Structure 1
Amino acid sequence: MASRSTFAAALLWAGLLAAPLLSRAQGTVVLTGKVSGRTSDTVAVSVRENPLDLKEQITYARLDDKGEFRLALTVNGPTRADLVYGDDVADLFLEPGNQLEVRFKGSDLASSVRYKGRGAEANTFMSEMDEKFVENDGFQVLPDNIMLYEPGFISFLDYRRKEEQKFMENGMEGMSPAFKEYIKAEIAYSYANDRLTFPDLREQVVATESRLKVSPTYYDFLNDKALINNPAAVQSEQYQEFLLNYIHYLATSSGKQRTDPDFYQVCYDMAKKQLDGPVKPIIMGRVLKESFRFGHVKQSATMLEDFRAVDPKNQYYPLLRQDFDTHKAFAIGAPAPDFKLISAKGDTVSLKQFAGKLVYLNFWRTTSGLALRDLPYAAELIKKFDGKNIVFLNVALDENEGAWKQLVVSKKLPGVHVRTTGGLRSAIARAYAVQDVPSYFLLAEDGTFLNTKPKRLSSRAAVDEIKESFGKANTYSSTLPSGK
């Protein structure tokens, strides 16, 4: 079933799309069908075998001259999957032994799909439930219900849940126990997730009002221990998304903010302490993936090593290790690549010579309109930090030395200006994985990455961000385990 909530998309890292139930019997599913008015030559079924792996197992089938197809795939027990045709997607619930006949219009898979055969009842139910609730804005948080205040929003959630439960009770006769548990979890955790994240999302969306102050009892529903540790719901993507948000909530409730150096360590420890069963390593793993992208590299490495103890079957560690290795070069705390380039004044400039200073690194070129638009803002920003412990280092990826030097000198551009040849293929551009200009990096006083996507020079928030960055590397270091 498609997610009824857009909260995760608005607030969080991209969530899970599909995950097979753990420890279930393996079996084969066969799909046959026909596409009317074909717009593509292939049909596919996409399954995510591992909830921490972004890669999906995709099984393709080519349409014949009549638009008919047949495909077979192996599933590890009852599994959420996606039926894919071109850019259109429909939800599937597959169980070993299913033999589904699928028919739909090539121009509108989601709305026209029809099922027959073994497994048809469950998939028809999901399709009808999506049409009734997901496609109806009246049952969605966005765009209108987010404007409600606390009493109205809770009434909306209660009404939606009541209607969903009624729909489930009237249409679930003869369904498998696994499918019933899946739908129950989707309803329960759609409610829980939307209620949990409502104050944060409303603050983002309703810009004309300050953050909504909720009543002291608003979060009391989280006291239900069965809501937190629910083995029967482990397959539900809503459940997993809720738990990640719940861990974030616990961390922020303890006084931590996402910008705090130890935020992800606190989240990791809370997930380790609060969660049980098969979902525990999944949520701990998702916190790790966040840390790999937004946390300190040494802190991430320590947590990753600790993770081995909660993953004795090595089901998730190899994927997490690969993800860590992918991101570690540009993670907070990783050393920024050194370089030596000739400045506009003709002297040699290296990154190392600015050790002990904050460095705002700007990759640009004289032929980039966006980069040129930022020049006045850069001058204003540099003026505000005159005499402070920061260097604004500008690396021009320009082939034409004369044009670059003339612009720097004639405009009296402030900061340190250096140039390299080769553009985006130059050694320094490759070292910093620069794919376009302008690209910005904020480097700490110890020469490590502090932020690989800082606010642009033209952003009003850049001033506050830089102010908060002075000495932040030492703050990160203070949160690391001893000896690290």
Structure 2
Amino acid sequence: MPFRLRTLLYSLSLFLVQSLFIASSFAQGTVTISGKISNAISDSVLLEVYTVPASYTGESYSAPVSSKGEFTIQAPLAEPMVAELVHGSESILLYLQPGDNLDVRVNANDFVSSIKFKGKGTNENNFLVQFERKFLEEEDYQVLPENIHKPEKSFLQFLEERRQDQLAFLEKSTKNAPVSEKFKQYVQAQIDFSYANDRLTYVEVRKRVGDLPPTLSTGYYDFLKQVDLNQPGAIRNQAYLDFLYNYFQFKALTSKAGNPERDYYPIMYAMAKKELRGMAKDMMLARILSQSIRFGYIPDTDAMYQEFLQEKVNPLFASYVENQYRQIRKVGMGSKAPGFTLLSSTGDSVSLKSLQGKIVYLGFWRTSCGICNVDQHAYKYFAEQLAAKDIVLVQISVGEDVAVWRQKAAKQNQSAIQLYAPNLSDEVVKNYDVKNFPSYFLIAPDGTIITTNARRPGHAEGAREVAALVDQYRQISSR
């Protein structure tokens, strides 16, 4: 549900550097939220102002709730944006504009249904509540669970009828209760991009619910040519962000430029840079780069990052990406695997350098980890399935008494080289940025990382998928 905090799927949830906006916000305007909460369930109320477009993160402002249930919150507001009023476990999304003075009356026992507004900002927020009740809580207007099963013609008819109903509702509601032009643009974006996103993802959603992929008519995706990617007023709307990411993902996967499997994020980045403008461009470049920092091919990520630094990007997004790059970019596809020299179960030392020239399947595990033990039981069969691939299997046991480890290692299948790391703060654990156990890496003969997320030995398709990765690597490297 795009108008609610709970619906955020992708994310920009780590934007934590909003302090750059605070001083200018006080100078440019404020918003006041006051009112009364009946049957209060907490002694305070919180206003989350989502300063970063479409990110649902921002600045928090709280105020006490009196014994009579009364409260007042004042917050700086530089421009129109969404916010959330939170009381205990209850919340309501608001649309706020500089100068709003909103009186809120609500019963905590029935938060959304009982809420009433007065003062400046009433019409916009009444509309949000009514729109949600009509279109976001009524199953007949939802793609899931039923409408997704419709064939193409019927599905498109459903989307178009929903869009026309929403447009009619907007026209009728705002005629009786006028709203600002900025708010109209926000709602228009909700209507337009909900339609576009549901149409764009029709095939993928059908696959996820188990339906056979539909046979699409010629020109099904031609509607994308009519979508205004830089639509005025859309920047604060979650439906817009969802569509943009899916749109560039779709274009990257269907592009014939480069190798989509490896060049996925650079292709998306180049497309977003070309097709978007202003804040929308900054927002999407930051999001794509953020995903590439986590999951992409490191040399390409480095190149994109250097290019991003040269852009005249909003300082908020620039600071966020720089912070992520510094904290997260340690190991990844294409980066050099950190070297190590560790004690082996046979009493000697084994280094990664000594294994150079071989593909290495490297696993980190702990005996206190249930899934790790499942993998240990499956390891013999896993090794047998990969025997023809000429891979060196290496296991690093972390944080166990060395004597106990030696005893267990002697009993374990010796198809893998058994190594020992004393504790979670050991250098090899930190260098590989191991946060979860088990963790598995596939390392190329030249020491670069093929993947940081290789399949587990205990996974039903583990050996097959690792073998496929090895074959793919050797095919590419032989060119």
TM-score, normalised via structure 1 length? 0.88
In structure 1, runs of 5+ residues without a counterpart are 480-484
| 2:240 counterpart of 1:205 | no
8 Å CA contact retained: 2:279, 2:314: no
Read off the aligned partner of 2:356 and give its amino acid letter: A
Shift of 1:138: 2.0
Out of 143, 157, 160, the position equivalent to 1:158 is 160
Counterpart position of 2:336? 335
> CA–CA distance in 1 between the matches of 2:217 and 2:5?
23
The residue number in structure 1 matching 2:145 is 143
- Identity, in percent, stands at 33
Seen in structure 2, the aligned counterparts of structure 1 residues 220 and 4 have a Cα distance that, compared at 3 Å, is farther
What does residue 254 of structure 1 align with?
255
Structure 1 residue 233 displacement after superposition: 2.4
Indicate whether 1:439 and 2:439 are aligned: yes
Corresponding residue for 1:219?
Answer: 221
Task: Report matched runs for 1:250-329 at 5 Å.
Answer: 250-255=251-256, 260-311=261-312, 314=315, 316-329=317-330
CA distance in 2 between partners of 1:467 and 1:276 (Å): 43
Contact 1:7 1:194 in 2 (8 A): no
Q: Mark the CA change 1:361 to 1:291 in structure 2 (over 3 Å): closer, same or farther.
A: same
1:199-233 Cα distance to aligned partner (Å, 9 max, x none): 11211221xx4322311121121121x52232342
Which amino acid counterpart does residue 371 of structure 1 have in structure 2?
C
Moved more, 253-262 or 58-67: 253-262
Instruction: State whether residues 40 and 69 of structure 2, in contact with CA within 8 Å, keep that contact through their aligned partners in structure 1.
Output: yes
Instruction: Give the partner amino acid of 1:305.
Output: Q
Residue type of the alignment partner of 1:382: A
The answer for the alignment partner of 1:427 in structure 2 is 427
Pick closer, same or farther for the CA change 1:2–1:223 going to 2, 3 Å.
Answer: closer
Q: 1:413 and 1:106, CA in 2 relative to 1: closer, same or farther beyond 3 A?
A: farther
How far apart, in 2, do the equivalents of 1:65 and 1:6 lie? Answer: 30
Aligned residue in 2 for 1:238: 239
Instruction: Indicate how the Cα distance of structure 1 residues 437 and 476 shifts in structure 2: closer, same or farther if over 3 A, else same.
Output: same
Q: Which of 176, 180, 190 does residue 176 from structure 1 map onto?
A: 180
Tell me whether 1:57 sits opposite 2:64 in the alignment. Answer: no
**Aligned equivalents of 1:438, 1:322: Cα separation in 2:** 27
Report if aligned partners of 2:62, 2:73 keep a CA contact under 8 Å in 1: yes
**How far apart are 1:478 and its partner, in Å?**
11
Distance 1:249 1:27, change over 3 A: same
Q: Secondary structure at the match of 1:228?
A: coil
Q: Which residue of 1 aligns with 2:404?
A: 403
| 8 Å Cα contact 2:47/2:62 also seen in 1 | yes
User: Is 1:30–1:100's contact at 8 Å kept on the other side of the alignment?
Assistant: yes
Matched residue, 2:82: 80
Q: Which residue of 2 aligns with 1:393?
A: 394
Greater CA deviation, 323-332 or 257-266?
257-266
Aligned residue pairs: how many?
Answer: 470
1:278: how far off? 3.6
Distance 1:37 1:440, change over 3 A: farther
Task: Report whether the alignment pairs 1:357 with 2:358.
Answer: yes
Corresponding residue of 2:367: 366
1:27–1:393 CA distance, 2 compared to 1 (3 A): same
Counterparts of 1:150 and 1:117 in 2: how far apart (Å)?
46
CA-based RMSD: 3.1
The separation in 1 between residues aligned to 2:478 and 2:287, in whole angstroms, is: 24
Distance 1:314 1:366 in 2: 46
Deviation for aligned residue 1:321: 1.6
CA contact (8 A) 1:5 1:140 kept: no
Deviation at 1:471, TM superposition (A): 7.2
- How far, CA to CA, are the matches of 1:444 and 1:85 in structure 2? 53
CA distance in 1, matches of 2:179, 2:225: 31
Name the structure 2 match of 1:70: 72
Is 1:262–1:476's contact at 8 Å kept on the other side of the alignment? no
Contact 1:48 1:56 in 2 (8 A): yes
Deviation of 1:236 (Å) = 2.2
Residue 458 of structure 1 aligns with an amino acid whose one-letter code is G
Q: Distance in 2 between matches of 1:30 and 1:5?
A: 21
- Cα offset, 1:14, TM superposition: 5.6
**What's the offset of the Cα at 1:265?**
0.9
